[in-house]
Structure 1
Amino acid sequence: MAQTLTLYNVQLPLIDKSKRYKITIKEGKYRSIDMQPERIDQTLTPFKQALQDLPNCSQIDLEGRIVLPSFVDIHTHLDKAFSLQAVPNKTGTLFEAIRNYSERAHLFTKEEIKQRVRREAIQSLSFGTTHIRSHVNFEMDTSVQLAIDNFQAVIEVKEELKDFIDIQIVPMFSKLFQRTDQEFAVIEEAIQLGVDGIGGAPHLMDFPAENIEIAMQLAIKHGKFVDLHVDENDDPAVCTIEELISKTAQYQLEGYVTAGHLCSLAAMEQMKADHIMEGMRRHQIHAVTLPGANMYLQGRQDSGIIRRGVTRIKELIGHGVSIATASDNVNDPFHPFGCGDMVQIGLLTAYAAHLASEEELLHVLKMMTTIPGRIYGLEHHDIKENAPANFVMTDAKDIYELFGTIAPTRYVFTKNRWLNGVKAEMMMSDKKLEALWNKTTEDSSLPI
């Protein structure tokens, strides 16, 4: 690319949506972020023209397009992506999804797992996601070799794609309290292969408290974070989050523990829920909501008013809990929809949590970018001087348009180069209609 890249007339809604900025990038870092006193109309390369040779353009007029820190998908399952045809889920319940996938896990080759991971990672990158934390099944009860092979498949794709996208790997360890010394040796082997964090779903185990404790002990022993599936259930009596808060305090792991899902929190009585959310804030436990999969899987046993399973997003924000939103599953028995697009996930979050004011939507954008960036462990994932230049640009010029259209066209910049994402165009066979559309979009007062 050009030695120095300067972008003019940039809209940075997470800084000030009413202003325009000039951004200078050199050697993969933001060198300056300058507010423009007014629109600069000097001779610049318009963005649509720059697209013809984007890597070699040094000064580009973005004409008010929105630029955001690149997306961070802090909770997904790359190894399961696109497995729906092989693993159906007729009831749509979480328990059938778990059972069916476990029963068919031995049928998937290592190469098939790699293809799934590769496809979903690259597809997510095209939509603007540059960092992914993937939970990975560890099917030790089916076969030790299967568990290691599938785990290695994800590690190999992580290495293959490291020049384009960053992936953290979190194995889903199960039944830790009941494992033999021989089985623990396998777990230790997996950790040595390249684990970033310790994962699992203790609320599904017979001894959830003991499983949480062992997970934390493993994390401390190996210097890893803890990221657990927590209380993915409609029943308010399912409440392992209390044990997670207690053990986080006991082991002094504040800031290193993440709780995904927290579905049952939504069904609890208010005083208990407030106590839990305050405990999460006090002990710096991160929360992740997974609105797509939770709305799909939860409430399946309800009639009349059906619970949707999404945690108390707005209340967690109000309590000061660090909460991100993420994709969870894509085209698999746990969630047949989705495509790895974090704007789609942000829209679902806004719908599910009644977040619709400008201030609230700006916070949703943070839940897709800067907040999960901090959970991921990125020291700087903001658009500010000297931070790594990782950003996604859309054709949207307004945050309501961004979510309303899901901003179908994306342009991704990361690792000191443009990695063009996805492009969508309106196509019309009628020439008059096409001319009228073009005339409308040429009016700079209207969204692109």
Structure 2
Amino acid sequence: MTSPLLLRGARMPGGSECDLLLEDGLVRRVAPPGTLPTGPAELDLSGYLLLPAPAEPHAHLDKALTWDLVGTPPGDLSSAVAAWRTYAERADERDVADRARRALDQLVANGVTAVRSHADILPGDDPLRGLRALLRLRDEVRSRVTVQIAVLHVDAPEQLLREALAMGADLLGGCPHLSADPAGAVEEAVSLAAEFGVGLDLHADENLDPASQDLRLLAAAVRRRGFTGPVTAGHCVSLGVMEPEEAARVAKETARADIAVVTLPLTNLGLQGRDQPSSTPRGLTAVRALLDAGVRLAAGGDNVRDPFNPVGRGDPLETAALLVAAGHLTPPEAVHAVTAGARSVLGLPEAGPYEGAVADLLAVRGASLSEVLGTASPDRVVIRAGRLVSRTTVVRDLY
């Protein structure tokens, strides 16, 4: 239960200005400005655009903020993996927790109220130390942000995966395309997730090979086994280099299996295509084909200043802007991918400035979606379950 909060003068996504009454974690009333009675605590949002709070459907909190600690890898995926594994050998539980907390704080300040992070099985004598750090952090921050954790591995022993799930991980992850046996990795993942009653979130087809099979194998396994848990496939880069007819066919198979796809433009634009200096492919999945097929599409920030991506600011508006520029989505489609689309992937109820919706909201200084995506103003107000959890105000002096 939260105390009532009255938001005054916010600009809605459609352009009108409204007042909103938030109570018990929900948006109770939306009304013309000045028509709701005073009484609750009030927050003036004049000059702000009010949106559903973003969710981050694909983060790597255990890797975050290590770029300056690992040296400078060449920039391709295999080199990034090697650089991370070398650093991870000396990363202890406290190191993971400290960096993950800083990255999470940045996400919240930018408007995120729910995060799904992958947690690596780490090298060394204590391979679950990173998972333990994130599990503790998940409990510490639950009052201001929801955290889900997926166990990420490549061909880890089954007993280790069982131990990770028994510790409280929310989902089982993996990278079938990096496995010695991609088909076997998919089958094991579906079987183990069904046994433990958890969802699946796999890194799929993170390459520019149109023959890569992860997404097709996953769709077939889910339907054949009648798997009923939530299933997510991240990256799916190879879909973007298939012939249009084949991409459409795979997208339809994905939709029939009810597999959600998370596109990750910032990292994939940086990692993919470096061996093709002429007509370099964009390294994104086929977002339009997926939307046309009815696939639930979300977008995430993926890596933040780690060996896989030296830049990034943990900002869903950055992700959405890239989907407009590189993915050719409209601004409303791109914002949907980081808000309602991302919440759908995380299995969360609808949020936004609408009566009856969960009161997870982001107010950004600006008058339109185009302005908000173009400027990514740091002036932001973040509300989770009807409670203010972050406010950033910037003072600019021009002389």
Aligned partner of 2:60 in structure 1 is 77
Does structure 2 retain, via aligned residues, the 8 Å contact 1:287–1:322? yes
Alignment of 1:26 with 2:23, yes or no, is yes
> 2:336 matched to which residue of 1?
366
1:95 aligns with 2:81: no
Letter of the 2:81 counterpart: I
Question: In the TM superposition, what is the alpha-carbon distance from 1:107 to its structure 2 partner?
Answer: 0.9
Corresponding residue for residue 281 of structure 1: 255
2:110 maps to what in 1? 127
**Is structure 2 residue 38 aligned with structure 1 residue 8?**
no
Alpha-carbon separation, structure 1, partners of 2:276 and 2:394: 39
Match of 2:100 among 108, 117, 131: 117
Work out whether residues 202 and 232 of structure 2, in 8 Å CA contact, stay in contact via their aligned partners in 1: yes
C-alpha distance in 1, partners of 2:37/2:212? Answer: 62
Is 1:423 paired with 2:397? no
How far apart are the structure 1 equivalents of 2:342 and 2:55? 6
1:258 and 2:239 are equivalent in the alignment: no
**Greater helix share, structure number:** 1
2:381 matches 1:411: yes
State the distance in 1 between where 2:4 and 2:140 align: 28
Aligned-residue CA RMSD (Å): 2.1
Q: Which one of 222, 234, 237 corresponds to residue 211 of structure 2?
A: 237
Deviations 1:386-411 (A, max 9, x none): 43311111111111110111122111
Deviation, 1:61, is 4.3
Partner of 1:186: 160
Q: Which residue of 2 aligns with 1:214?
A: 188
Correspondence list, 1:42-191, <5 A? 58-63=41-46, 65-139=48-122, 142-145=123-126, 147-175=127-155, 179=157, 184-191=158-165
One-letter amino acid of the counterpart of residue 104, structure 2: A
Residue 382 of structure 1, CA deviation: 3.6
Q: Secondary structure of the equivalent of 1:129?
A: coil
Partner AA of 1:306 in structure 2: T
Deviations 1:318-357 (A, max 9, x none): 22111111000000010110011111111111111123xx
CA distance change for structure 1 residues 2 and 317 in 2, over 3 Å: closer, same or farther? closer
Distance 1:101 1:2, change over 3 A: closer
Give the letter aligned to residue 289 of structure 2: E
Tell me the distance in 1 between the aligned counterparts of 2:319 and 2:392. Answer: 17
Partner of 2:347: 377
**For residues 29 and 41 of structure 1, do their structure 2 counterparts lie closer, same or farther at Cα, with a shift above 3 Å needed?**
closer
Which is greater in Rg?
1
Contact preservation (8 Å) 1:289, 1:325: yes
Point out where structure 1 has 5 or more consecutive residues left out of the alignment: 45-55, 431-448
For 1:155 and 1:265, the matched residues in 2 are separated by 33
The 8 Å contact of residues 11 and 66 in structure 1, kept in 2 or not, is answered as yes
Q: How far apart in 1 are the matches of 2:73 and 2:26?
A: 49
Contact 1:322 1:371 (8 Å CA) reproduced = yes
Shift of 1:202: 0.5
Map of 1:310 onto structure 2? 284
Distance 1:21 1:255 in 2: 39
Number of matched pairs: 399
Q: Is the 8 A contact 1:74 1:132 kept in 2?
A: yes
Stretch of structure 1 that moved more, 86-95 or 415-424: 415-424
Aligned to 2:305: 331
1:396 aligned to 358, 366, 375, which one? 366
Q: Distance in 2 between matches of 1:2 and 1:268?
A: 50
CA contact (8 A) 2:304 2:314 kept: yes
Q: Confirm whether residue 293 of structure 1 aligns to residue 290 of structure 2.
A: no
1:414/1:423 CA distance change after superposition, 3 Å: same
Higher relative contact order by CA 8 Å / sep ≥ 6: 1 or 2?
Answer: 2
- 1:344-363 correspondence runs (5 A): 344-355=318-329, 360-363=330-333
- State the shift of 1:422 in Å: 2.4
Q: Is the 8 A contact 2:303 2:312 kept in 1?
A: yes
* Structure 2 CA distance for partners of 1:22 and 1:189, relative to 1, 3 Å: same
| C-alpha distance in 1 between matches for 2:45 and 2:353 | 16
- How many Å separate the matches in 2 of 1:18 and 1:398? 7
TM-score, normalised via structure 1 length? 0.85
| Secondary structure class of the residue paired with 2:313 | coil
Unpaired runs of 5+ residues, structure 2, are: none
Distance in 2, matches of 1:385 and 1:164, equals 22
Structure 1 residue aligned with 2:295: 321
Identity of aligned residues (%): 29
Letter in 2 for 1:157: L
- Distance, in Å, in 2 between the alignment partners of 1:406 and 1:150 is 32
